[in-house]
Structure 1
Amino acid sequence: MDRAGVGRVCLALPGATLDHPFGDDHDAYKVGGKMFAIMGGMGGLSFKVSDIAFEILTGAGRARPAPYLARAKWVHLDDPADWPDDELAEHLAIAYSIVAAKLTKKARAALGLA
């Protein structure tokens, strides 16, 4: 999946927004102001995963711990085009769900997620 595909998948999720807090070449996808995926300037993709998915994906070598974000259970893909589009789209939707679930009840209601 390329940068445009990641954007289409992420922005199709309810209340998801695109921001550029690290510069114009980094796309940060957020829900309720909290990041769930980042597409870097060199084409790498980082996203939030569950504790179990973190162990499985990094242990199997399918992803590596994301720089600066691994302690929060984020993984990094150097080339997201190496992954099947449907599988990557599912991981991005799960990343969104994990982050959205941690928003306050008021924030989820404001986004129409409650």
Structure 2
Amino acid sequence: MAIIITDECINCDACIVECPNNAIYEPDQEWAYADETALSGSVTLPNGDEADADEMNDPISDEFYYIVPEKCTECKGFHEEPQCASVCPVDCCVPDEDHVESEETLLEKKAWLHAE
């Protein structure tokens, strides 16, 4: 499953540099699939939908840092545990029960994001 940042976030920014998928964004910041990934132009998302990887999407939160679930792989294929959770000083990076995915799916998403 993806990780979510709860409203207890203090916006310290410790997590943002730790994310290997660039899935973490500042409050009110637009995001794109292409941000620091191998994706560009028209892409087929893992769920089969089509999208423009370079298109800017609306922020998920305007109050605290947030994680784009479509880009989060729980650091599978990079680290043993989600790095955002390991560096968070207030323990607000927790499993997102609304985005449960198998390890196989997370590894496939990692390969998709980084064109392996």
Relative contact order: is structure 1 or structure 2 higher (C-alpha 8 Å, sep ≥ 6)?
2
One fold, TM greater than 0.5?
A: no
Q: Which structure features the higher share of strand residues?
A: 1
